[in-house]
């Protein structure tokens, strides 16, 4: 492993990455590698979806790093059984796996990523120093679901260009910043996932307070990742209190003999902390429901809600055939979670749609029992949120919702999408995060959010309020999305 001057390490990493690109291009041209990625099925932003799914459930996501060495710590694991490490993370419920491919100072390898991505079900991010479009295509061919884009080594034009290319390839992009200026650059470029590196790569100093200070500059609808210097559960607890949605942890997990136990401790601390109030109440996530047409998907891809819903009950005029839903999901932008809405459905149908990736969350609107919900929850991948809807007419309905074994509860008027608002004063008894539905539209959502600001509101779900003549109206969809986000600026 070659040692580097600490002050110039970032510049050296970027310079060496350019040399690597030139070498790779001598074997396969940019034109040829573009053609190779164009022949692949488009990626679906699994990295962003995994983090956003955790956020929707009110939990923190964990990106677990697989690396042999680093410039600041030298060799971390001489034997480096990378496949065993990645599989341990996979079994332990990691939301993403970060695989170092930088070969000179981190002793990484493209082969590590290729083999790990082919083996595990957890999405992988290529952790490297992207300085050229070529490296994005390489990442896609290696099986990555995401790449790291570092503001310090990219111009504004490059950052915007690479984000656009990632979108075309179906890759998620984690944009890394170190200070206020880089945060603003990342936001203005349109980054949907922003990470703050607590380690200054120019001098290797570590300050976990960096993430806490910069969090307030990132819009609530943008996912926020705290990176580096996280060594103890108390760190994840403190950063979660500051508003971190996810954590990227390397050395602490790499050195842990029982990685599952260490990850569990980090996760428990973070999720316990979130029960306490943040300095700023986060905006609720947005679900736009009842998608049926390609133009609906085009609108949501532009507006970037957190979730979209497909109605799979044939009694509804918003019903969509599962094959058509699968086709629409293929056009859905990465990071937007497709939700299947069911009424007393055969569990096998639900599991099949989830296993195929047509849906990545389940919403139940029938008379499903606790036993039904528990069995379905155990059969579903843990990364697939399970939501149970409740018709709210009295205090007992609220009490039943509080006791549900579902990951999330949805509270509605229960009138089948007719646009009726229920009595929100009943929500004084709600004890857990919930999704609000029933009669919402761009005209009333602002006042409703203010009315419910002291309740654990997690998300809002709208269908009839964004329709004209029974079909989704792009202008109403935009107005509703802006109204929700504008209420939390």
Residue 447: burial class (beta carbons within 10 Å; 0-12, 13-18, 19+)? exposed
Distance CA 486, CA 356 (A): 35
Type and span of the H or E element at 354 = helix 347-356
Distance CA 222, CA 212 (A): 15
**Active-site residue, from 95, 128, 235, 412:** 412
The answer to whether the CB of 253 falls within 8 A of the CB of 77 is no
User: Within a 10 A sphere around the Cβ of 46, how many other Cβ atoms?
Assistant: 25
The answer to whether the CB of 428 falls within 8 A of the CB of 451 is no
Strands 193-197 and 223-227: parallel
Distance CA 58, CA 55 (A): 5
Type and span of the H or E element at 350 = helix 347-356
Beta strands in 84-240 (DSSP E): 96-100, 124-127, 146-150, 172-177, 193-197, 223-227
Active site residue 381: no
Burial 144-178 (b: 16+ CB within 10 A, else e): bbbbbbbbbbbeeebbbebbebbbebbbbbbbbbb
Which are the contacts of 489, defined by CB distance < 8 A and separation ≥ 6? none
CB half-sphere exposure, 257, CA atoms < 13 A: 0
The answer to whether the CB of 167 falls within 8 A of the CB of 133 is no
Q: Find the length of the chain.
A: 489
Written as six digits, the tokens of 263 are 């990850």
- DSSP class of residue 68 equals S
Partnered with residue 175 across adjacent β-strands are: 149, 194
Active site residue 289: yes
User: Within a 10 A sphere around the Cβ of 96, how many other Cβ atoms?
Assistant: 27
The answer to whether the CB of 339 falls within 8 A of the CB of 307 is yes
User: Within a 10 A sphere around the Cβ of 419, how many other Cβ atoms?
Assistant: 15
Residue 277: burial class (beta carbons within 10 Å; 0-12, 13-18, 19+)? exposed
- DSSP class of residue 245 equals S
**Active-site residue, from 64, 66, 96, 289:** 289
**Secondary structure class of 251 (helix, strand, coil):** helix
> Catalytic amino acids?
289, 412
């Amino acid at each position: 492993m070659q040692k580097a001057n600490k002050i110039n390490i970032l510049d050296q990493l970027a310079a060496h990455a350019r040399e690597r690109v030139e070498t790779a291009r001598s074997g396969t041209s940019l034109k040829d590698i573009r053609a190779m990625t164009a022949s692949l099925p488009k990626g679906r932003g699994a990295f962003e979806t995994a983090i956003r799914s955790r956020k929707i459930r009110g939990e923190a996501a964990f990106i677990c790093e697989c690396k042999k060495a680093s410039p600041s710590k030298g060799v971390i694991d001489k034997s480096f059984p990378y496949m065993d490490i990645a599989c341990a993370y996979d079994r332990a419920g990691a939301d993403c796996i970060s695989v170092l491919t930088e070969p000179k100072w981190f002793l990484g390898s493209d082969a590590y990523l290729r083999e790990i991505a082919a083996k595990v079900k957890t999405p992988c991010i290529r952790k490297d120093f992207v300085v050229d479009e070529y490296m994005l295509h390489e990442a896609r061919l290696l099986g990555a679901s995401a790449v790291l884009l570092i503001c310090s080594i990219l111009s504004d034009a490059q950052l915007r260009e690479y984000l656009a290319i990632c979108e075309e390839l179906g890759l998620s992009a984690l944009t890394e910043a170190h200070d206020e200026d880089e945060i603003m650059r990342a936001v203005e470029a349109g980054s949907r996932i922003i990470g703050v590196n607590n380690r200054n790569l120019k001098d290797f100093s570590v300050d976990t307070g960096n993430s806490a200070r910069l969090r307030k500059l990132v819009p609530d609808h943008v996912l926020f990742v705290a990176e580096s210097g996280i060594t103890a559960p108390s760190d994840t607890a403190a950063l979660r209190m500051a508003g971190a949605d996810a954590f990227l942890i390397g050395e602490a997990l790499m050195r842990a003999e029982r990685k599952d136990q260490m990850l569990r401790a980090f996760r428990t601390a973070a999720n316990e902390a979130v029960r306490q109030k943040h300095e700023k109440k986060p905006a609720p996530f947005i679900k736009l429901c009842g998608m049926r047409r390609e133009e609906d998907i085009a609108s949501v891809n532009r507006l970037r809600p957190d979730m979209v819903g497909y109605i799979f009950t044939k009694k509804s005029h918003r019903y969509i055939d599962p094959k058509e839903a699968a086709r629409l999901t293929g056009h859905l932008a990465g990071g937007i979670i497709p939700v299947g809405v069911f009424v007393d459905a055969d569990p096998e149908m639900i599991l099949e749609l989830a296993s195929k990736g047509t849906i990545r969350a389940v919403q139940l609107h029938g008379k499903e029992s606790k036993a039904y919900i528990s069995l379905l929850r155990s059969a579903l991948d843990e990364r697939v949120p399970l939501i149970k809807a409740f018709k709210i007419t009295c205090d007992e309905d609220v009490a039943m919702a509080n006791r549900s074994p579902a990951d999330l509860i949805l509270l509605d008027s229960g009138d089948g999408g007719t646009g009726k608002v229920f009595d929100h004063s009943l929500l004084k008894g709600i004890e857990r995060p919930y999704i609000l539905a029933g009669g919402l539209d761009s005209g009333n959502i602002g006042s409703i959010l203010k009315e419910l600001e002291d309740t654990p509101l997690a998300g809002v779900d709208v269908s009839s309020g964004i329709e004209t003549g029974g079909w989704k109206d792009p202008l109403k969809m935009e107005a509703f999305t802006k109204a929700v986000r504008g209420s939390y600026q």
